[in-house]
Amino acid sequence: MRKLYWCFFICFLSSALSFPVKVMIARDWRVLTISSNSPFHLRELGNGGLAYPGMQEVSIAFLKKAKKLYCLKSVFSSEENARKAELDIKQLGYTVRRDGRELLVKCELEVARKVLQERISGWAMASSTYEEELREARFEVKIGDKQIILPPAAWLRLEMDNPTSKEPFLFSVSIDGRKARRYRGSLEVYSINSSISLLVNEVDLEDYLKGVLPGEIPSSFSPESLKAQAVVARTYAFRCLGRHREEGYDFCNTQHCQVYLGYDYEKEKLNQAIEATRGIIIEYDGRPALTPYHSNCGGISEGAELWGLKLPYLKSKPDCDSSLKPASDGDIKELLQALQSSNCQLAPDFRWSREYTADELAKIFSQSLPTIFKNDCKLGKIMNIRVVERTSSGRARVMEIQTDQGILSLKGEDIRWAFGNGSIASPGSLPSLLFYIEKKGDTFRIVGGGSGHGIGLCQWGAEGLARKGWSYISIINYYFPGTILQKRVNR
């Protein structure tokens, strides 16, 4: 193992206290079937503490329907006439809103609106009609033979009856009839704006990581690289706490935050890495560092400048024993050949290539570019595609698509998604921005290296270092130089 010198230390405080995080695990669902391995209780938090204890199964449906309202807006010559019309309409059982000489009434039937319009025609100076769509929703909770109807503003919480049990308490959740998954902790059920249903898992941070790592790194990796991943993922969670606060939870369960799979995907080897580093995070300048990670960097990491950030611990550098400087002149072919003996060279997509005809690219871009540009764009015949600007690591920063209709420019990660359907990480997207393009006749060959954005921890690079005997502390210092490790006791 090579000798390291670093200004890097670990400050171990008292044992880290656990704290819960909230993770959205289902959005816009219709029916939940929830059971558990021991009794639990359900509480409606917004209805005076309404509680149903001792359950082991419950079904929750979120029902939505749309109803058309027929609106009549009238203006009267005087407030006196408006008051007379208001009183007359209210006596018929309709709800009326009056503002001075203006009157508004909403009916569930079009024929009712016509009757009212004729009824007040002698008083009104002018009337106009329009339609509104009213969306109605409600929760239906079934406990055995009992059915409970709750308004869409209800907020349900499901938690275990005996919180002192040593055995892991698990909820089993089937969403819209699909295969059930199990989750630790508690569950919350509510809606956003009475229209979008949410299922949220409240779980201890360390248990959250046990559901994250299986979706982010192979459990076959070496123990030290898994420990490094555990610390990086924990730090990322600390840094991004409350990312979805406006919707009532901390994280989603996708790549936008971190992939979260729940209990059924936990691996003992990954759990051991989490427990071995419990509470430890990476800090810089007194706060949790930004610790992104990716599959493999292709031999050279990217700096945070790609995202418009300037962070001294996230700089571009070769991921190998080399004095080679990152390319900035666009000669990526030579760079990729020079980086063959990198720490991440064992990655299955360390080097990759794609081939397209001009017609194939036209078909792909015609579907992806409207999503990226958020408008229709005239594509025309593809004449050429070329990288016109690169980052300090040599990754594509700006790519031009030259057509017989003009030139379209793509920037940053949008370049990758343009080869998919325009959405983040969509099928067909380029593995990374570290590539060069070869054009032969009507065919374009894209040759590249690495997978992911290239910033922060290179997972396959960390594995390569672990196989050389590096500790997780040394690995973290290598990818996040100038940071320190800290054992957190609170948020």
What pLDDT does residue 272 have? 98
Residue 12: pLDDT over 70: no
Q: Which residues are 40's β-sheet partners? A: 55, 160
Residue 335: pLDDT over 50: yes
Residue 8: pLDDT over 70: no
What pLDDT does residue 327 have? 58
Share the mean pLDDT of the chain. Answer: 90
Question: What is the β-pairing status of strands 484-487 and 10-11?
Answer: parallel
Residue 14: pLDDT over 70: no
The percentage of residues in the chain with a pLDDT greater than 90, rounded to a whole number, is 75
Give me the long-range contacts of 126-132 (CB less than 8 A, separation at least 24). 126/74, 126/75, 127/72, 127/73, 127/74, 127/75, 128/72, 128/73, 128/74, 129/70, 129/71, 129/72, 129/73, 130/71, 130/73, 131/68, 131/69, 131/70, 131/71, 132/68, 132/69, 132/71, 132/106
Predicted TM-score (pTM) of the model is: 0.81
Average pLDDT (232-245) is 93
Least confident of 1-15, 200-214, 338-352: 1-15
Q: Who has greater pLDDT, 56 or 18?
A: 56
What does DSSP assign to residue 254? Answer: S
Predicted confidence band of residue 4 (pLDDT cuts 50, 70, 90): very low
**Alpha-carbon separation of residue 246 from 192, 243, 249, 250, 283 (angstroms):** 10, 8, 8, 9, 26
Residue 322, exposed/middle/buried by CB under 10 A (0-12, 13-18, 19+)? middle
What pLDDT does residue 329 have? 53
What pLDDT does residue 10 have? 38
438 phi, psi to nearest 5 deg:
-115, 130
CB atoms within 10 A of CB 323: 5
What pLDDT does residue 121 have? 87
Domain 65-136 has CATH 3.30.70.100: yes
What amino acid occupies position 214?
A: P
Residue 243: pLDDT over 60: yes
Average pLDDT (341-366) is 95
Coil, helix or strand for 85? helix
Which uninterrupted H or E stretch holds 369? Answer: helix 358-373
- Choose among 440, 325, 67, 20: nearest CA to 201: 20
What pLDDT does residue 326 have? 62
What pLDDT does residue 46 have? 76
What amino acid occupies position 23?
A: V
Predicted confidence band of residue 6 (pLDDT cuts 50, 70, 90): very low
What pLDDT does residue 490 have? 58
- Choose among 218, 249, 213: nearest CA to 231: 213
- Choose among 221, 295, 308, 297: nearest CA to 255: 295
In tens, the pLDDT along 100-149 reads: 999 999 998 999 999 999 999 888 889 999 998 887 899 999 998 899 99
In tens, the pLDDT along 55-85 reads: 899 999 999 888 889 999 999 999 999 999 9
Coil, helix or strand for 45? coil
Give the start-end residues of each E strand in 45-154: 50-76, 96-99, 102-107, 124-143, 146-150
Q: Domain residues of the chain, as ranges?
A: 1-27+205-291+456-491, 65-136, 351-449
First to last CA, the chain: 36
- The span from the CA of 436 to the CA of 353, in Å, is 10
Q: Concatenated DSSP letters for 185-244?
A: SEEEEEEETTTEEEEEEEEEHHHHHHHHHHHHS-TTS-HHHHHHHHHHHHHHHHHTTTTT
Q: Who has greater pLDDT, 441 or 326?
A: 441
What pLDDT does residue 9 have? 37
- The span from the CA of 273 to the CA of 263, in Å, is 16
- Choose among 234, 204, 290: nearest CA to 22: 204
- The span from the CA of 40 to the CA of 161, in Å, is 5
- The span from the CA of 334 to the CA of 336, in Å, is 6
In tens, the pLDDT along 368-392 reads: 999 999 887 778 899 999 999 999 8
Residue 148, exposed/middle/buried by CB under 10 A (0-12, 13-18, 19+)? middle
